[in-house]
Structure 1
Amino acid sequence: MLHFGTRGSKLARWQTEHVLLMLSLGGGMVVIQTKGDQVLDTPLPLIGGKGLFTAELETALHANTIQCAVHSLKDLPTEQPDGLVLGAILARAPVGDALISRSGKTLAELPQNATVGTSSRRRAAQLLRARPDLQLLDIRGNVDTRIQKALAPDGPYDAILLAHAGLERLGYDNVITEVLPFEIMLPAPGQGAIAVQCRDEAWIREKLSLIHHEPTAQAVTAERAFLAALGSGCSLPLAAYASIENSTLTLTARILSTDGTRCIEVTGTASPTDADSLGSQLADEAKAQGATELLG
């Protein structure tokens, strides 16, 4: 029997149950708490280290306590540890970021100096690029907790940002005020995609191949190749989104200063089979324009 590791949040368990349902497997879910789940009083960029939401799951994979782990792909470091592989990447959900405003006002309508909650430097930098007057305040906790904080009449937040995919998966479309356009808010590499990491064993990979979605895999490969080539982690203000249309893969990536005053944006196209090369090529273009300096 295959055992699937997951974080304990409602969203993580939903994603794992979704994988089990697609594979027609009953049970087999093992909840594992990660460092990112344990430390809730510190902004994510200040905790430090890679794999804040994945390291403990990978330890369980190596120990064969579990054979597979289900991740939000945007949380997963680009380098795979020895003996582990990505066995499947599921068809992508909506990739954008959603604004939840207790007043029902859109980003453009929020009052001057409004307070917006986010724990992501990528989101923060792009928000400040669009609205330099905004006051940004860190927010932690699972999706339910963040929504409660956002809608509390006496809370500190006029609005917050969350991934559209997570809200849709948990049935919270009704609280979305606005899905921000990519011109304002480009997503994180891999956002909206569920990945199943597994032990590098042929029989496991064969089972997972049934739910693998190659077009999504090609798109996120380009995004993650861009991220890997810049040597940047998810805590830095870097965004990337790739899509396939008429057999052409298009990748757009954006790197910003933390205050949003400087922005480097690169775009390129390639065959979907050259996704990795496209990501690396655009990273070189971004470096030539000063990306390394922006990322520190």
Structure 2
Amino acid sequence: MAASDIIRLGSRGSTLALWQAEHVRAEVERRTGKKVEITRIKTTGDMILDVPLSKVGGKGLFVKEIEEALLSNRIDLAVHSMKDVPTDLPDGLEISCITRREDPRDAFLSVRHARFEDLPVGARVGTSSLRRQTQLLSLRPDLSIGQLRGNLDTRIRKMEEGGYDAIILAAAGLRRLGWDGKIRQYLPVDVSIPAIGQGALGIEIRSDDGRTREAVAFLDDRETSLAVRAERGFLKRLEGGCQVPIAAHGTVNGDTVALSGLIGKPDGSRILRGSRRGPISDPEAIGVALAGELLSQGGKEILDEVYRQSGS
């Protein structure tokens, strides 16, 4: 097979990342007839498991080494969970398409309790997300939130061994791996607004690589792309990442994008929520406008305080 018929795909080595890479590999091979080779790349985020992401740099930790491989022409494309992708990409790289979104909601898992509402006073809940922590504590300030990192199977095992009364994970990853039977409850979006881009996969390529762009173009899902672009507009305006409790969720109805968003304190003592609609012609502008509203309502003071406390 000629080199021009081989596409090199870079992926993290986690079970979920490899499922995502294999999914894209199979789709591209089926659609184009080209061979896709997967290269595992270990990222900084995969190697630092005993420290909260908010303390060591946040989102970019899961993509930096993969983007370096793209820029040095060792791979042709990368498959990312969009919630891991910073809004500012390195020069020469682009997100060429965003795939159809899985269920974007957060999932409640527990051995003993059927619903989040059933947790006893002082229950220990595991999550790696300040966004989730903020929203859960705003509803239940009595909860004890424990930092939970590692692959999905590791997190679930820690709960099943009694380390946590419950854990909160993204439903999308569990569903992709066929583990949705472990989900006791899907948390409604008005209870826990998802992370920006949650449930969507992004295909990153070199901007000058027309061959790969053409090969993967069919993977782009119009409605998902519009919704995620609105969410990322919100994130970019707030200059946020894993270090701060920010959430946004977009939906598309006809020619309109609807976006709900949140800024909060990590202890849940103050949360600002808002929503905004706008035309699909400029989804990023909807996110930017909503972020501006929340900043003017006190969001800037919240974020400044969080950054001061985290030393960012």
Greater percentage in helix: 2
CA shift, 1:49, in A, is: 5.5
Is 2:16 the partner of 1:11? yes
CA shift, 1:26, in A, is: 4.0
Aligned length: 294
Identical columns (%): 44
TM-score under structure 2 length normalisation: 0.92
Q: Is 1:5–1:32's contact at 8 Å kept on the other side of the alignment?
A: yes
Structure 2 counterpart of 1:159, one-letter code: A
Is 2:83 the partner of 1:83? no
> In 2, Cα distance between the equivalents of 1:105 and 1:251?
30
Q: Is 1:120–1:235's contact at 8 Å kept on the other side of the alignment?
A: no
1:20 corresponds to: 25
2:134 aligns with one of 125, 144, 165: 125
1:99 corresponds to: 108
1:40 corresponds to: 49
CA shift, 1:27, in A, is: 4.0
1:294 corresponds to: 302
Question: Equivalent residue of 1:2, what SS?
Answer: strand
Is 2:49 the partner of 1:29? no
Is 2:178 the partner of 1:167? no
Cα deviation code 1:124-164 (max 9, x no counterpart): 00010111110001111101111111111xx2200001000
Unaligned runs of 5+ in 1: none
2:152 aligns with one of 138, 143, 156: 143
Cα deviation code 1:58-109 (max 9, x no counterpart): 0000110001011000000001111101111100000000010110331110
Structure 2 counterpart of 1:178, one-letter code: Q
Question: Equivalent residue of 1:94, what SS?
Answer: coil
Question: Equivalent residue of 2:251, what SS?
Answer: strand
1:265 corresponds to: 273
Structure 1 counterpart of 2:248, one-letter code: A
1:211 aligns with one of 216, 219, 239: 219
Q: Is 2:237–2:288's contact at 8 Å kept on the other side of the alignment?
A: yes
Q: Is 1:69–1:197's contact at 8 Å kept on the other side of the alignment?
A: yes
TM-score under structure 1 length normalisation: 0.97
Is 2:67 the partner of 1:62? no
Question: Equivalent residue of 1:258, what SS?
Answer: coil
> In 1, Cα distance between the equivalents of 2:59 and 2:150?
19
1:285 corresponds to: 293
Q: Is 2:58–2:241's contact at 8 Å kept on the other side of the alignment?
A: no
CA shift, 1:41, in A, is: 1.2
> In 2, Cα distance between the equivalents of 1:46 and 1:208?
35
Cα deviation code 1:17-59 (max 9, x no counterpart): 1111111254410000000000111111111255110000000
> In 2, Cα distance between the equivalents of 1:158 and 1:218?
37
Question: Equivalent residue of 2:282, what SS?
Answer: helix
- Over 3 Å counting, the alpha-carbon distance change for 1:243 and 1:203 in structure 2 is same
Is 2:164 the partner of 1:157? yes
What are the residue-to-residue correspondences of 1:185-196 with 2, within 5 Å? 185-196=192-203
Is 2:120 the partner of 1:111? yes
> In 2, Cα distance between the equivalents of 1:26 and 1:234?
36
2:189 aligns with one of 179, 182, 192: 182
CA shift, 1:182, in A, is: 1.1
CA shift, 1:119, in A, is: 1.1
1:226 corresponds to: 234
Question: Equivalent residue of 1:52, what SS?
Answer: helix
Structure 1 counterpart of 2:229, one-letter code: T
> In 1, Cα distance between the equivalents of 2:201 and 2:134?
25
CA shift, 1:211, in A, is: 1.0
Displacement over 6 Å in runs of 4+: none
1:247 aligns with one of 255, 259, 263: 255
> In 1, Cα distance between the equivalents of 2:114 and 2:269?
24
> In 1, Cα distance between the equivalents of 2:60 and 2:76?
18
Q: Is 2:7–2:35's contact at 8 Å kept on the other side of the alignment?
A: no
Unaligned runs of 5+ in 2: 1-5, 305-312
